[in-house]
Each structure stands twice: as structure tokens, then as C-alpha cells.
Amino acid sequence: MEFSIQDSQLLATKGLINGQWVDADDNSTVPVVNPATGEQLTDVANMGAAETRRAIEAASDALPGWSDLSAQKRSTLLEAWYDLVMENQDELAAILTAEQGKPLFEAKGEVAYGASYIKWFAEEARRVYGDIIPAAQPGRRNLVVKQPVGVVAAITPWNFPSAMLARKIAPALAAGCTIVCKPATETPLSALALVALAQKAGVPDGVINLVVGSRSADIGGEMTSNPIVRKLTFTGSTPVGKLLMKQCADTVKRTSMELGGNAPIIIFDDADLDQAIDGALVSKFRNSGQTCICSNRLLVQAGIYDRFIERLAEKVGQFRVGNGLEESTTHGPLVSEKAVTGVKALVDSAVADGARVVIGGDSGEQGSCFFQPTILADATPAMGVFKEEIFGPVAPVFRFESDDEAIALANDTEFGLAAYLYTNNLKRIWKVSEALEYGMVGVNETAISSEVIPFGGVKESGQGREGSKYGLDDYLETKLICLGGL
């Protein structure tokens, strides 16, 4: 199946500032490339600091009107946006696959996943409750109200270009904030299509603004230094997140950071092996391993270690790698040649240190952005595949003996986003779940993410939570109003 992106009704190539589609000030552009074929899909505006500043000012101008709207009206507009996203799910998915590479069925799932956050926060917009606190002195009343934090800046990644944008815009708008967004250089088209639908749904000019291009340092620098911006939300790597937090410190901005991961999946001897293998396959190889919560390290108890690897390899051998727009494809390319080089270096280093390639282990034959789904046996904690976020279709399998050893191995990382375990022992479930230093733990389940759960990590995996009833907290200020003389 071939998709001509030029035929898309949702194709936008300019930034959106105050409701107007605009080019870069210097009319420069940057190409968007299909990683599966190397084809240049189109060019988009290559914006910088000046355009970002105007987008921030537009968001500031729109803030009073948007925040003064009733919660019911904001909810209605978000519902309308959700309906349009789902009506255009197939076209949005095709755009996503063309620029990002993931199989079309995964892209459709991502569009629906992102839309679920729009729907959720449309409902939560009407549930921003305050409080009355009993006063310490007579004649007083203490009222607590929640107000929007103000103008929000959002920076989103290339691995889930539709869902991550929706997951940030929806709560911001529900809380009464306005927003300026910067999507990843590699995948701007999904973001542009989404905000075009928001505009069509009736979201007022200036409430959502989008700046695109490859001048990430200039755009990010303006977002972090501009005092009008009161909150920055970022999904991406830990090093970049740390830099943004430092830059935000000068104006004491609120920050939400969803950063890197190094997720362990612990499989105990008493686990349902079929269930554990299915969970590992979904978690490790979804989006060709390019997810922050994928199983980066497979920790398998000694009693089932060899059997687990044999069964896992049988399943991986059935994968079909190729262009995501082809129906037979189960796994697409990595996002770039640079990504393939990084994954290959980690695999080669592990093999040099004694790991055994069970299946895969090399670049794919389909093109320069492909890498074979890979299983590495006899992996050890001294290897780079234990310490680093692989972000590719590589499953290193580590052996452990006891519960305490598994916990120690799992926690031996600066990251703490997601972790998983498989066991049928109830005592072990509680012991291990509570001992794991992670923001999210899946027990006999790896598909844990949805709009109803608080998504986020601890340690160097970030701060704040997205989704669930907690998802509005980072977009709201808590204000005390003390009434005296009563």
C-alpha cells in the first residue's frame, strides 16, 4: 500500500500562530522524510525564536478569554475536537506512518490513544473542584480555588507524535491554559494535522499555537527564557530534560518532565509462561522498541531461562519487518540511520563482552533505517544494554536466582519510569511491586498505559503525571482566599 501524502486533506506545512498558518520569517524550510523508504514527503517551515516569541504572545493574548470561558464550554470544544480526530483516524494514521514508520495498525491505535486523552480531559474540565478549610480564628473562612497556571509551552517527541501532543494540549486547555507547542523535527505533520482539527472544532485563535522546524535550541531557548510562559511540559530524553529544567529555573517555571526509561520485566519461575512471553513481546517490540516504557531489560529466573528464550525466539521469528503502510508488516523502521547506528553499537558491544545472538543482531535488509528484531542471551549487568535505553528492537535477557537479586537488578539504574513482573505468588507481587523504584508497575500485564492512569516516573525519569484525575494538577495553581470580618 502506498500513501500519497500530497493528497491528504489534513496536510499542513506551516506553523500556526494566533489562528494563522505562517511560514518561517526567513522562508526557510526543513524536509520531512519517510524512514521506511527515504522518500521526502514534503517540506515544513523552519521556524525559530522570533516566531516562537510571537506564538507565546498570541497565547498570552488569548489566555483571558479562554480561561474565562465556562468549564462546560471548554469541555464542549474538546469533545468536538475528539469527534473530529476519530472521524479522521485513518488519514491521521496514514500521515503518522508515513513520517514515523510504525505499522499502520499501530498508528491507528496511537491516534485513538491520543484522542482518549482529549475525551478524558473534556470530561475532567468540569471537575476542577475547590475546597473550604475550617478557620483557626472566628469570623474567618478559608476558601481554596484552582486557577489555570497560564501560558504553557510543550515539547513533544517523534516516537508518539500524535498521542504525546494530545496528552499535553488536552489537560492544558481543560484547565483554562493556552499553549505553544513544538513537535519533533522528524514528525511535525501529525502535530500539524491534529491542531488543524482543533481549529476546525472551534478552538479560538491563539489558544493553541504550533511552531515547527529544526531550530530546536532557538525555539526551546525562547520557551524557557520567556517570562510569559509559566509552565513547560516536555517528553524526551533525560539529558535534554535536565537542560530544559536548568533553563526554566531563571524564571521559576513549573515543569512536567516525562524522560528516559530503562524498564525491567521480571519473569519468575512460577509465572504463566505464555502470558509472560506475550507481555514481553508487546512491551519490548512495540514501535520497534522505540518507546520509553518498553521492556529494556528482560530479567528471567534461572529455572525457566532457557525455555523462555527458546519460546520467545519462536515468536520473534514470525515478525515481518517492512514498510508500515504494507498490511503484512508487523514492525517498521527505526526513526533514522543514526538510531540504527546506535542500536548496532550496543548489540556489537554486548556480543564482544560475551552475549549470544539468538536471533537477529544486525541491520535490516529492507533499508538503511531498519534493524532486525533481536534477542541476546547470556547478557550481564556490565554490558551497555543493561545500563542504557536501547530504543530499538533488541531484547537482552538476564538471568537471576532470587527475589532480592531481581529487585536489586531492576533498581540498578538512574531511571524509574515503568517496570513489570510476572508471577502467580501473591506475597511476591506485593513485596516486589513495593520494592521497585518506579512510577508505574505492571503485574502480569505490560499494556498499562491509558488515559485513566497517572503516567509518569521517579528518579531521573521525570516529575509530574499525565492522564487520570491527577493530570490537571500540573496545569493549575492552588490559591487561598481568606475571608475575614465575618
Show which residues are catalytic.
Answer: 258, 292
Using alpha carbons only, what angle is made at residue 444 by residues 438 and 448, rounded to the nearest 5 degrees?
A: 55
* SS3 assignment, position 154: strand
Q: For the chain, what is the total number of helices (H) and then of strands (E)?
A: 14, 20
Q: Which of 106, 157, 114, 115 is nearest to 282 (CA)?
A: 106
How many CB atoms are closer than 10 A to CB 254? 18
**Are 226 and 211 in contact, with CB atoms under 8 Å apart?**
no
Strands (E), 302-373: 356-359
**Are 379 and 347 in contact, with CB atoms under 8 Å apart?**
no
CA distance 293 to 107: 17
Phi/psi for 353 (5° steps) reads -95, 5
Find where cell 512495540 sits: 286
- Within 8 A by CB and 6+ apart from 471, the residues are 120, 121, 124, 171, 454, 465
Cell readout for 236 is 524526551
